[in-house]
């Protein structure tokens, strides 16, 4: 069954009002599921977002023979037996790239892992050699076939020094978890600084791991035995990308919007950029408030995506929509993924003045009124950007490939309706 979102645009009026809560972070909870494979007792995860990527992860776990019980909304209990399947199912794994984070803990604890070539959103090349080179450095042996990869360690991963050629967050987290059960000391250099990694490491340390330097460019892991929760609960931190997406929505479409349950320090680069553009933002404890004055005009600002704490690539598409409503010319420079500007052609069809310079750079001129269109979402973040564009547009917009949006945002249409938006989910017949 295919679904789409139908949005009645506000024609540029900033009429949305109210508050919205930020859910647990997608980029933290999927890694927490992977982390659970290192535990010899039951691990409980709280504040789990009810998104498609979580549902897919649960399906993978069940196929491996791991017990996953949904205790209540957002609460999952995971128990790993002494023996599991070490083959990641191809059909489910190819739906989302985050499944590759399971390879590190499975290899480390159970001695081998097999997995297909990774899938996920079509936003550019995300080289797997970061993972493979890291596993080889830890003394694992790799075999590649047409179907994917088989990696063996015979339960004898050995600590080593690893320099990440590219600052891959998923690569770092996978190798860090592999190092937790490896013999000796593993040192990872050129590590990305994303807060989700530190959150993960801090919890593992509470449960018996020995990890130093998480949140810095050099991380040191001393191998231990399997971890033990002993009743400790992993509380998924707020999703900084979701919070930032709502902040951008508030700037272009809300009279007053309160964004609750967030850590403003985690998306400070966005806050400061929007303030520079003239957006009225009040930063409070665990919340952000954005208000708009009638007749206010924003100014443009150049955007260059960068690893944390720089401007997030995951907020580049929503920010581009914002810039279509700002006065002046702005350069968008996407430095992380070469395919992440592909969505811009759809915004141009909606009336945006955007000129693509090359696969990494584009010029946005504004302000330009947007008109409702039927568009195809190519990935999670572009899908959310199209929602924002549809909200500020004149007329009706229909957004297809809504399953991409569902991978990162829980029941987005219900949450936006609570702010006064006319948005609904419909089934599409062939």
Catalytic residues: 121
Interior angle at CA 29, CA 50 and CA 130, nearest 5: 130
Question: Is beta strand 148-152 parallel, antiparallel or unpaired with respect to 141-144?
Answer: antiparallel
DSSP state of 101: G
Residue 314, both tokens: 């995951």
- Tokens 């990440």 -> residue: 164
Q: What count of other Cβ atoms lies within 10 Å of the Cβ of residue 81?
A: 9
User: Distance between CA atoms of 174 and 162, rounded to whole angstroms?
Assistant: 12
What distances in angstroms separate CA 253 from CA 51, 84, 386, 392, one per listed residue?
25, 49, 13, 6
Checking phi first, is residue 181 left (phi over 0); if not, alpha (psi -120 to 50) or beta?
Answer: alpha
Which strand (E) or helix (H) includes residue 403? helix 402-406
User: Distance between CA atoms of 411 and 409, rounded to whole angstroms?
Assistant: 6
User: According to DSSP H, which parts of 217-293 are helical?
Assistant: 240-253, 268-276
Side-chain-side CA neighbours of 8 within 13 Å: the count stands at 8
Q: Which of 275, 177, 162 is nearest to 226 (CA)?
A: 177
Residues contacting 421, CB < 8 A, separation 6+: 7, 8, 10, 16, 391
Question: Is beta strand 185-189 parallel, antiparallel or unpaired with respect to 161-163?
Answer: parallel
Q: Which of 409, 289, 412, 264 is nearest to 18 (CA)?
A: 289
User: Distance between CA atoms of 284 and 275, rounded to whole angstroms?
Assistant: 15
User: Distance between CA atoms of 267 and 312, rounded to whole angstroms?
Assistant: 8
User: Distance between CA atoms of 302 and 313, rounded to whole angstroms?
Assistant: 14
């Amino acid at each position: 069954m295919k679904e789409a979102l139908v949005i009645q645009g506000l024609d540029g009026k900033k009429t949305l009002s109210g508050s919205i809560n930020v859910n647990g972070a997608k980029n933290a909870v999927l890694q927490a599921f992977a982390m659970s494979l290192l535990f010899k007792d039951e691990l409980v995860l709280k504040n789990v977002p009810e998104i498609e990527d979580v549902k897919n992860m649960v399906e993978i776990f069940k196929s491996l023979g791991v017990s996953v019980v949904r205790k209540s909304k957002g609460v999952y209990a995971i128990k790993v037996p002494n023996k599991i399947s070490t083959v990641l199912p191809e059909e489910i794994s190819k739906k989302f790239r985050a499944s590759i984070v399971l390879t590190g803990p499975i290899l480390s604890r159970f001695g081998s892992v097999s997995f297909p070539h990774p899938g996920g959103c079509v936003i550019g090349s995300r080289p797997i050699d970061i993972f493979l080179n890291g596993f080889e450095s830890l003394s694992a042996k790799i075999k590649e076939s047409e179907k994917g990869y088989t990696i063996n360690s015979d339960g004898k991963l050995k600590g080593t020094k690893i320099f990440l050629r590219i600052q891959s967050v998923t690569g770092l987290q996978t190798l860090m978890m592999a190092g937790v059960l490896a013999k000796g000391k593993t040192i990872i250099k050129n590590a990305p600084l994303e807060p989700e990694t530190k959150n993960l490491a801090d919890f593992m340390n509470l449960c018996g791991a020995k990890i130093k330097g998480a949140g810095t460019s050099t991380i040191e892991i001393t191998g231990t035995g399997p971890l033990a929760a002993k009743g400790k609960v992993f509380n998924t931190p707020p999703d900084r990308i979701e919070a930032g997406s709502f902040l951008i929505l508030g700037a272009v479409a809300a009279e007053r919007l309160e964004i609750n349950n967030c850590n403003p320090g985690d998306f400070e680069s966005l806050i400061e950029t929007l303030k520079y553009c003239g957006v009225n933002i009040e930063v409070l404890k665990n919340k952000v408030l954005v208000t708009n004055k009638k007749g206010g005009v924003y100014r443009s600002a150049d955007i260059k995506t960068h690893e944390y704490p720089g401007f997030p690539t995951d907020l580049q598409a929503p920010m581009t929509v914002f810039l279509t409503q700002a006065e002046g010319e702005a350069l968008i420079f996407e430095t992380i993924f070469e395919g992440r500007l592909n969505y811009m052609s759809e915004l141009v069809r909606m009336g945006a003045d955007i000129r693509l310079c090359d696969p990494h750079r584009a010029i946005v001129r504004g302000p330009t009124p947007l008109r409702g269109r039927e568009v195809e979402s190519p990935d999670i973040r572009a899908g959310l950007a199209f929602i924002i564009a549809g909200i500020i547009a004149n007329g009706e917009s229909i957004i297809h490939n809504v399953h991409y949006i569902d991978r990162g945002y829980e029941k987005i249409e219900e949450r936006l309706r609570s702010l006064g938006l006319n948005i609904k989910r419909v089934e599409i017949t062939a």
